[in-house]
Amino acid sequence: MSVVALVPAAGRGERLGYGMPKALVPVNGVPLLTRAVQGLFASGQVQHVVIAAPPSDVDQVHTATASLAPAGGAVHVLSGGSERTDSVRLALDHALRVIPDTSIVLVHDAARAFTPPEVIAGVVAAVRGGYDAVIPVLPVADTIKQVDEAGVVVSTPDRAALRVVQTPQGFRAETLRAAYRSGIAATDDAGLVEKNGVPVHTVPGHPHAMKITTPFDLAVAEALFSGGQE
């Protein structure tokens, strides 16, 4: 039974200011997407990676990732959709059609290119252990305020019960397929599954799984992982 990672990478990444798809922006000379795919395969758990790329950059993405798969594995590249959920849906449909023994599906952000392989393996192990949906998380370090439309604080949630969510998010293949067929909407795949009535389990995340979205994030990553240390 195959573990398949879906990587929605069709975003243009305007906030990084590179004039190219965010997934292809380099960190110390290596594109974010390349690093993300390398990490997935380095976990020793993923057999296939399905990338939803910008339609105009499918060939470039294929060139950057095709050689990364280990023996017996493969990288699949297809055109993504206009929204992240569209890209995940397209990648999921492709996986279930082309890789019929898909049993576990991961959804991973290319922007979290430095997620340690042990986090990825931990998510897969938890799904294999019987959970339908699993996400890596970190405790919230800052105080959080809930505000109204005027910006006035209405409550201060107890941060002890709050978590920062990372990727990859892992699911039994049928669980994620059912959630996407439900017609409901959410800001992430775990939220979609949760709204579909499925409990979501958590495992420890890692600070290195930071999301690289802004030029500041990029500068931090280049400093933190200089010299190829990851």
Residue 169 maps to a domain: yes
Number of domains in the chain: 1
Dist CA 201 CA 137 (whole Å): 10
Q: DSSP 3-state assignment of 226?
A: helix
Residue 194 maps to a domain: yes
Residue 155 maps to a domain: no
pLDDT in the model for residue 168? 98
Dist CA 108 CA 116 (whole Å): 12
Beta strands in the chain (DSSP E): 2-8, 26-27, 30-31, 48-53, 74-79, 102-107, 133-139, 146-147, 153-155, 163-165, 169-172, 201-204
pLDDT in the model for residue 31? 92
| pTM as predicted | 0.94
pLDDT in the model for residue 14? 64
Question: 109: closest CA among 19, 180, 185, 39?
Answer: 39
Domain of 80 in residue numbering reads as 2-137+163-225
Residue 146 maps to a domain: no
Residue 12 maps to a domain: yes
Residue 143 maps to a domain: no
Residue 28 maps to a domain: yes
pLDDT in the model for residue 66? 87
For the domain that residue 61 is a member of, what is the CATH number? 3.90.550.10
pLDDT in the model for residue 229? 46
Residue 230 maps to a domain: no
pLDDT in the model for residue 227? 61
10-residue averages of pLDDT along the chain (230 residues): 94 70 89 96 97 93 91 94 93 95 97 97 98 98 96 96 97 97 90 96 97 92 74
pLDDT in the model for residue 72? 87
Angle between helices 117-128 and 32-42 in degrees, nearest 10: 50
CB 167 within 8 A of CB 136: yes
